[in-house]
Amino acid sequence: MPRPGEVVVITGASGGIGRAAARRFGADGARVGLIARGRRGLESAAREVERAGGQALVLPLDVADDKQVEAAAASVEDALGPIDVWVNDAMVTVYAEFLDIEPEEFRRATEVTYLGMVWGTRAALKHMVPRDRGSIVQVCSAMSYRGIPLQSPYSGAKAACKNFTESVITELLHHKSKVRLSMIQLPGVNTTQFTWGRTRLPKQTMPVPPIYQPEIAADAIHHAAHHKRRQIYVGIPTVMNIVCERVAPWLLDHYLARTGFGSQMTDQDLDPRAHDNLFEPVDEDRGAHGPFDGQAHSVSPLYELAKRRGVVLAGLGAAVAGAAAATIRSGD
């Protein structure tokens, strides 16, 4: 359960899932350090946290710079107190075929999405490990397990994030540390990513359907931060992606080659010049939601079951025990 007045740090907090997560923690009365590059989005996020009942600290910086991230962690502890929860959510990407992406673009996307998570984890652990408490939540993706076309930088970075996190988990277990790391594996989410990510595609980018609202991801982050959960899978597409990759990856290759291009573009023309946050932020307040509210689901039944797995398992156990008892009685 959340501790009253807990201190939370969220990267990528100016929009999308990070913005929704900031509101979710703010509703607990948390003191939230908000990290992103775009000041306008951060300031609006801070107002939302405070309206929800929390306290906010705005920290405009680039998570690709490890020194900036470590300085931000120190600033949070000085201003708000010891960090209880750190959420790594910052990302950038390039929507294009691999050969259409320049090396400096690929490097930048990797530095923010992958190394940004690494530097955030490192900064958090340097404060949490000596106290032997704290929770780090990595916002990952079904693409941690399975890459898709037109998103090679993001797919590669998320796979790296998963394996990096597993490595750190084993080291903490070796030392019997009480610091927890969790991963949230997500499907397509209706976020600002699709309104400001760099693209070379001719049409408006979109999440692969079915699409989910960012508040579902925010609740999963909040749940993972306060429960001993190594991973939480959100949405049927996430589970299907992982299962198909394990059972028949070659079949998934052909399926994605056929459907993966069209499923990531709408029919709307796009001006790429107004659609680019790779090296500089789009310093506007675009909120948590992307342009797909009409298509996005506000509930994930699979996640709701995962969140209540103790009750579900207890119910299944009771059903099995009842069936066994009935079988025994019928044999008497």
Instruction: Encode pLDDT of 220-266 as tens digits.
Output: 999 999 999 999 999 999 999 999 999 999 999 999 999 999 999 99
Enter the pTM of the model. Answer: 0.91
The 3-class SS string of the chain reads CCCCCCEEEEECCCCHHHHHHHHHHHCCCCEEEEEECCHHHHHHHHHHHHHHCCEEEEEECCCCCHHHHHHHHHHHHHHCCCCCEEEECCCCCEEECHHHCCHHHHHHHHHHHHHHHHHHHHHHHHHHHHHCCCEEEEECCHHHCCCCCCEHHHHHHHHHHHHHHHHHHHHHHHCCCCCEEEEEECCCECCCHHHHCEECCCEEECCCCCCECHHHHHHHHHHHHHCCCCEEECCHHHHHHHHHHHHCHHHHHHHHHHHCCHHHEEEEECCHHHCCCCCCCCCCCCCCCCCCCCCCECCCHHHHHHHCHHHHHHHHHHHHHHHHHHHHHHHC
Summarize pLDDT for 26-44 with one digit per residue, the tens. 999 999 999 999 999 999 9
Q: Which CATH number fits domain 7-299: 3.40.50.720, 3.40.50.2000, 3.40.1390.10, 3.20.20.70?
A: 3.40.50.720
- Mean pLDDT throughout 206-211? 96
Asked whether the predicted pLDDT for residue 316 surpasses 90, the reply is no
Domain chopping of the chain, boundaries:
7-299, 300-332
The set of catalytic residues is: 154
pLDDT tens, residue by residue, 88-131: 999 999 999 999 999 999 999 999 999 999 999 999 999 999 99
How does residue 322 score in pLDDT terms, banded at 50, 70 and 90? Answer: very low
Predicted local confidence at residue 275, as pLDDT? 74
Model confidence at 306, pLDDT cuts 50, 70, 90, reads confident
User: Which pLDDT score, from 0 to 100, does residue 310 have?
Assistant: 54
Task: Give the per-residue pLDDT at 321.
Answer: 40
> What is the rounded average pLDDT for all residues in the chain?
92
